[in-house]
Structure 1
Amino acid sequence: MTVTLRDVTIREGAQMPGREYDVEARVAAGRALDRLGLDAIQAGFPAVGETDRAAIRRLAGETDASVVGIARARTADVDAALDASADVIEVFVPTSDRHLEHVLGKSREEMVAMTGEALDRARDGSVAVHLTLVDGFRTDPAQLAAVFDAFPSVPTITVADTVGARTPDHVRELVADLRARGVDGDRLGVHFHDDLGVATANTLAAVDAGATTADVSVASLGERAGNAALERVVVANAVDGDGDGADFDLDRSALVPACRATLDALGESVDPRTPVLGEAVTTHEAGIHTAAMLHDPGTFEPYDPATFGGERRLVFGPGSGRGSARALLERAGIDPTDERVARLLDLLAERGPMDEATATTLVDDEF
């Protein structure tokens, strides 16, 4: 099953406290993301200001991905997105009882009417439209299905877990419920926040249950705890699916470089232990690990980093054990006697830590 990934890094990241991505930063990030072959890049909220509008205008003219501008279900917001020359206008509107009362201040019937007006305004501007249902995962499934029925010509309607309140079992249940009510999986998108730490798992669960579009963000950038991480969704699907997972139809070999380039463009960084993107994730020094990985890297890795444009690092130094020293000597064709192993361990402890190439050179020079 082919699943469309829509990146929300730029727009969601800009909503984090203290962030003010300028136009050049957004354009550079969008260019990096476009190298992945993503279907769409959500570049901003045009009604917010000229920075968002200018970034969308620039990117819409130079990316293969569709550039998305979001808009509340208000004609003024839609007009701002039209002025920004967005390829797609994604209208968003609350659907849960709580959000209808406390955020929108409208009845369900009024919400449907204003959504229809906003979508019509966008279509009048000859722009493709999508629709996102805010707090959708805390909305009664029957009411969600009614929105799908009310707007049959909208190709993608995204159900959002706006406050990150759901877990995979609930996600599967709701998606399955919508499918059972006649919602076409080809129209069903999902958007998850990571407040409970399960946005990636929720995305994979939704896809497994039949959703065919998913919003993702590099390194989970986004308000509060962020969103489902683009790189984690892609890698987890590839690894756990063992070839039978969803087809995300993007360039896997460009994943890590493109994500890191996006972070650089936005002035963001990640902890070294961050899954997939952190340097520590593919760095190994423990003696038992490096000894085995010199023979078979997959012994202590869930995937080959090179598959996704990353790089494995074996480190030798004070933490290396006899097994690692023995393996280094054997690879150089040197008999790993107890004396040589002990000497090499002393050298590694004295001169390390060092990478595999340097350790190999050390063996060649000293033995």
Structure 2
Amino acid sequence: MLLSDVTLREGDQMPDRDYSVKQKVDAGCALDDLGLPYIQTGFPITGEKDYEATRRLSGAVSAETIGLARALTGDVDAAIEAEADIVEVILPLSDRHLEHTLSATREEAFGMANEAISHAIDRGATVHVTLIDAFRTNPAGIVDFFERFPEPKFINLADTVGARVPKFVQELLASLDGSVDFDRVGVHFHDDLGLGTANTLIAYEAGVAKADVSVASIGERAGNTALEELVVSGTIEHDEKFGVEVDRLVPVCRRVLDDLKESVDPRKPVLGEAVVTHESGLHTAAMLNDPSVFEPYDPARFGGERHLVFGQGTGQASARILLRRAGVEPTDEHIEELLSLLDREGPVELGGAVALAGDLQ
């Protein structure tokens, strides 16, 4: 499965966000360091910022840049003139979106798609398509689009409002298998039900060729499939790294967040500080001997770092191990002294706790 990063575009569409050209270029160059094949830059038709960010990134990264375009020739021209490597045409497909966002019938929408795709190809562009609200569309309509439009390299099926659960995704994709070429299928999930990563893993297991992701789930509403969650889950479960430099995953994602002046909740999977910090006496005692007892993976595998914290909650088992590491005999007296020290001086990380233990020699 190939990954297309949508952080720059989706993030910029969040309320109270207005990334600068420099922010987009800096963050895009950071993403490129991970080895991602595609980076979505924005809608060049919307103005100078997305136009210029697309133009600069197209000359600065190894990844192919994607400029979005509505199914309008003017949008297509803007993406091409901004030097996007790929023009991604977006088009509503579900009945509700055709009625309320496009005010067109399905046949009229297909006519618009035909004009936009043909225009892009005539101008020498590589074309992808995203079908808006595809996961709330009758599968026959999806098959019809694939049959009518063999030219786009990828056709992305979007769960635009994050409404679907893994069982539904699995069943819909199974219904399409054999009727569409999965080597041309992409997926775009939102995280409104907290299922973006799970749904994307289901698509991967079904043989879908491409998926949209974003750093820390950055995107409209609850965001999109988290790049880091998908890569870590795929690596652990399937030994599938999705072409990403996994040992640089965490630091690069944090660099992207810094470039965009975005933050994440400490409890955010993979990137949050709390998920790699352990203070409970039971946890730290076990993890001093074998960290995997209370970890799903070694953070260092993905460029992260675990933090063992010692203080008021530290128990006798942890104190005994700390004393031994410091070369101090773990007598009852030394254990009580160390626990008192940690209670007063803590919380401290492992190095500081061993140093305190060493003071008891």
**What TM-score do the two structures reach when normalised by structure 1?**
0.96
Partner of 1:205: 202
Give the AA of the match of 1:178: L
Quick one: distance in 1 between partners of 2:94 and 2:355? Answer: 64
1:166-224 CA-to-partner distances (Å, cap 9, x unmatched) read 0000001111111132x111111000011111111111111111211000011111111
Q: 2:173 aligns with which of 163, 172, 175?
A: 175
Q: 2:288 aligns with which of 291, 294, 301?
A: 294
Give the AA of the match of 2:195: V
Contact residue 176 and residue 210 of structure 1 kept, 8 A = no
Quick one: distance in 2 between partners of 1:76 and 1:268? Answer: 32
Quick one: distance in 1 between partners of 2:125 and 2:229? Answer: 32
Call closer, same or farther: CA 1:247–1:263 in 2, change over 3 Å: closer
Q: 2:329 aligns with which of 324, 335, 338?
A: 335
Aligned 1:17-166 pairs, distance under 5 A: 17-166=15-164
Contact residue 175 and residue 210 of structure 1 kept, 8 A = no
Kindly state the Cα deviation for residue 146 of structure 1 after the two structures are TM-superposed: 0.9
Give the AA of the match of 1:269: S
Kindly state the Cα deviation for residue 331 of structure 1 after the two structures are TM-superposed: 2.3
Kindly state the Cα deviation for residue 247 of structure 1 after the two structures are TM-superposed: 4.4
Q: Residue 216 in 1 paired to residue 213 in 2?
A: yes
Kindly state the Cα deviation for residue 115 of structure 1 after the two structures are TM-superposed: 0.6
Partner of 2:265: 271
Quick one: distance in 1 between partners of 2:208 and 2:241? Answer: 12
Quick one: distance in 2 between partners of 1:47 and 1:286? Answer: 53
Q: 1:192 aligns with which of 189, 209, 219?
A: 189
Q: 2:279 aligns with which of 279, 285, 297?
A: 285
Task: Give the gaps of 5 or more residues in structure 1.
Answer: none
1:78-132 CA-to-partner distances (Å, cap 9, x unmatched) read 1111121101110010111111111111111111111111112212222211000
Quick one: distance in 2 between partners of 1:34 and 1:42? Answer: 11
SS at match of 2:157: strand
Quick one: distance in 1 between partners of 2:78 and 2:303? Answer: 38
Contact residue 132 and residue 158 of structure 2 kept, 8 A = yes
Aligned 1:242-261 pairs, distance under 5 A: 243=239, 246-261=240-255
Quick one: distance in 1 between partners of 2:210 and 2:226? Answer: 14
Q: Residue 231 in 1 paired to residue 228 in 2?
A: yes
**What TM-score do the two structures reach when normalised by structure 2?**
0.98
Task: Give the gaps of 5 or more residues in structure 2.
Answer: none
Quick one: distance in 1 between partners of 2:73 and 2:152? Answer: 17
Contact residue 137 and residue 166 of structure 1 kept, 8 A = yes
Quick one: distance in 1 between partners of 2:220 and 2:75? Answer: 21
Q: Percent identity?
A: 57
Aligned length in residues: 361
Contact residue 334 and residue 360 of structure 2 kept, 8 A = no
Quick one: distance in 2 between partners of 1:294 and 1:63? Answer: 42
Kindly state the Cα deviation for residue 140 of structure 1 after the two structures are TM-superposed: 0.6
RMSD: 1.0
Partner of 1:16: 14
Quick one: distance in 2 between partners of 1:276 and 1:30? Answer: 20
Quick one: distance in 2 between partners of 1:69 and 1:107? Answer: 26
Quick one: distance in 2 between partners of 1:336 and 1:258? Answer: 42
Quick one: distance in 2 between partners of 1:356 and 1:313? Answer: 8
SS at match of 2:177: helix
Partner of 1:357: 351
Quick one: distance in 2 between partners of 1:54 and 1:211? Answer: 32
Quick one: distance in 2 between partners of 1:153 and 1:287? Answer: 60
Give the AA of the match of 2:196: A
